[in-house]
């Protein structure tokens, strides 16, 4: 199949591109490089530098490469930033997303895989969180993703554009070639590893008074390559005629911030100094997924579920890329298509 991966130069997008290429699909990465990295896209993969707000460039790419399906990763995704800059989030995640759907419909491309998030749930009523758990997002980021899920349902009913929304819990880890490199970095595991690597003095723990066993927030950490595999399974399902659907994607196990720090200390054999910081706006206390639906319906089975193994992959990537993609070995991006 010919797949346009919007946001394919970003963290989860680039790992999915790696998997799609290995599975023999023709891949077109479409990315404006505002937050992604050109170095994360292998030379063998077609790259179009474009914005999803730009209908003409989008339609040209969809037609020229005879695209069968679109995967959409190019959203803003930081909770704190979304609280400070809500307009930017609604514009990119909702308005530009609608623009992408419009371009697809004009080009008669009707299969879509959407990067959604556990942030659609807000503070959940019960754990583990199923697809039916009530959704009350607590920050603009979560609200943009929740809105787009509704738009996709309506678009499916009205226009037959079938989609699968994948609600990621906490994406983490790395493959041999692709890892996490955000500026600024806000995610827990890369920050913890920066401290271990001596690039930061300490980790600020955002709140120690949550109603959890050690007072720190609990999250469900899921390896990025397992997320990528879920996209391949979703693509196959759509190819076989699956109806529009939504799946949670997590390991079903929760770890507190302090447990992540401890695991990282074990993996790196280094001390990770921590300081207490105020709570971060919009952070729910506990987010742990039930992924039973995707396990049963699409036979998704995470391969790297152990927290230490996940951190090991991220640590290896960090050691090999001390300055992120800027320090990638020159030959690395040529390797994976073979
Ligand atoms: N966190 C923290 N210090 C940091 C970054 C994150 O204590 O420097 C906490 C954050 O409050 C949350 C958890 O780590 O409870 C995971 O945060 P992350 O930003 O990685 O993912 P999120 O859950 O926001 O998607």
pLDDT of 90 over the 50 cut: yes
The pLDDT, as a whole number, for residue 331 is 40
Q: Which residues have C-beta atoms less than 6 Å from ligand 1?
A: 79, 170, 186-188, 191, 203-206, 217, 219, 257, 280, 283
Q: How far is the CA of 84 from the centre of ligand 1 (A)?
A: 17
pLDDT of 309 over the 50 cut: yes
Q: Which atom of ligand 1 is nearest to the CA of 203?
A: 8
pLDDT of 332 over the 70 cut: no
Here the tokens at position 45 are 């993969």
Q: How far is the CA of 187 from the centre of ligand 1 (A)?
A: 6
Task: For 234-286, give the DSSP string.
Answer: HHHHHHTTPPPEEEEE--S--EEHHHHHHHHHHHHTS---EEEEPPPTT--SB
Asked if 79 contacts 282 with a C-beta cutoff of 8 angstroms, the reply is yes
Q: What is the Cα Rg of the chain in Å?
A: 19
The pLDDT, as a whole number, for residue 266 is 98
Q: Which atom of ligand 1 is nearest to the CA of 77?
A: 25
Q: What is the pLDDT of residues 101-147, one digit of tens each?
A: 999 999 999 999 999 999 999 999 899 999 999 999 989 999 999 99
Q: What is the pLDDT of residues 173-201, one digit of tens each?
A: 999 999 999 888 999 999 999 999 999 99
Per DSSP, the three-state class of 27 is strand
From the candidate CATH numbers 3.40.50.1100, 3.65.10.10, 3.40.50.720, 3.30.70.370, the one assigned to the domain spanning 2-335: 3.40.50.720
Q: Which atom of ligand 1 is nearest to the CA of 191?
A: 8
pTM: 0.95
Q: What is the pLDDT of residues 25-83, one digit of tens each?
A: 999 999 999 999 999 999 999 999 999 999 999 999 999 999 999 999 999 999 889 98
| Percent of the chain residues past pLDDT 70, beyond the cut | 96
Could you tell me where the DSSP H helices lie in the chain? Answer: 11-22, 55-64, 79-84, 86-89, 97-106, 140-159, 188-196, 224-239, 257-268, 292-298, 307-320
Nearest to 283 by CA among 125, 134, 83: 83
Q: What is the pLDDT of residues 144-178, one digit of tens each?
A: 999 999 999 999 999 999 999 999 999 999 999 99
CA-to-CA separations, 307 to 2, 172, 194, 218, 268, in angstroms, rounded: 34, 10, 17, 13, 13
Distance between CA atoms of residues 234 and 70, nearest Å: 12
Distance between CA atoms of residues 247 and 108, nearest Å: 25
Please, which pLDDT band fits residue 328 given cuts at 50, 70 and 90? low
Q: How far is the CA of 214 from the centre of ligand 1 (A)?
A: 15
Q: Which residue has the tokens 């109806």?
A: 243
Q: Ligand 1 test: best mutation among 124, 219, 311, most atoms within 8 Å of CB?
A: 219
- Residue nearest atom 21 of ligand 1, based on CA coordinates: 187
């Amino acid at each position: 199949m010919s797949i346009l991966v919007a946001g394919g130069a970003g963290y989860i997008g680039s790992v999915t591109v790696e998997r799609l290429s290995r599975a023999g699909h023709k891949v077109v990465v479409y990315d404006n490089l505002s937050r992604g990295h050109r170095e994360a896209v292998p030379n063998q993969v077609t790259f179009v530098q474009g914005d999803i707000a730009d209908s003409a460039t989008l339609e040209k790419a969809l037609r020229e490469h005879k695209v069968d399906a679109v995967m959409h990763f190019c959203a803003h995704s930081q909770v704190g930033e979304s609280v400070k800059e809500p307009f930017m989030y609604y514009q990119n995640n909702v308005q530009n997303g609608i623009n992408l759907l419009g371009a697809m419909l004009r080009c008669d491309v009707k299969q879509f895989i959407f990067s959604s998030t556990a942030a659609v749930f807000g503070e959940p009523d019960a754990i583990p969180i199923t697809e039916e758990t009530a959704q009350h997002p607590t920050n603009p980021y979560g609200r943009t993703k929740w809105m787009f899920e509704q738009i996709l349902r309506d678009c499916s009913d009205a226009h037959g554009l079938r989609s699968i929304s994948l609600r990621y819990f906490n994406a983490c880890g790395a493959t041999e070639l692709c890892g996490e490199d955000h500026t600024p970095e806000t995610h827990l595991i890369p920050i913890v590893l920066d401290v271990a690597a001596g690039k930061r003095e300490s980790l600020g723990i955002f709140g120690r008074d949550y109603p959890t066993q050690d007072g720190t927030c609990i999250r469900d950490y899921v390896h990025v390559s397992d997320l990528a595999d879920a996209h391949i399974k979703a693509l196959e399902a759509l190819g076989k005629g699956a109806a529009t659907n939504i799946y949670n994607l997590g390991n079903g196990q929760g770890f507190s911030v302090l447990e992540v720090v401890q695991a990282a200390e074990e993996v790196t054999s280094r001390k990770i100094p921590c300081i207490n910081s105020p709570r971060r706006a919009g952070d729910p206390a506990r987010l742990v997924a039930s992924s039973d639906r995707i396990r049963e319906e699409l036979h998704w089975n995470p391969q790297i579920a152990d927290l230490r193994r996940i951190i090991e992959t991220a640590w290896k990537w960090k050691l090999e890329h001390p300055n992120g993609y800027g320090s990638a070995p020159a030959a690395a991006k040529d390797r994976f298509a073979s």
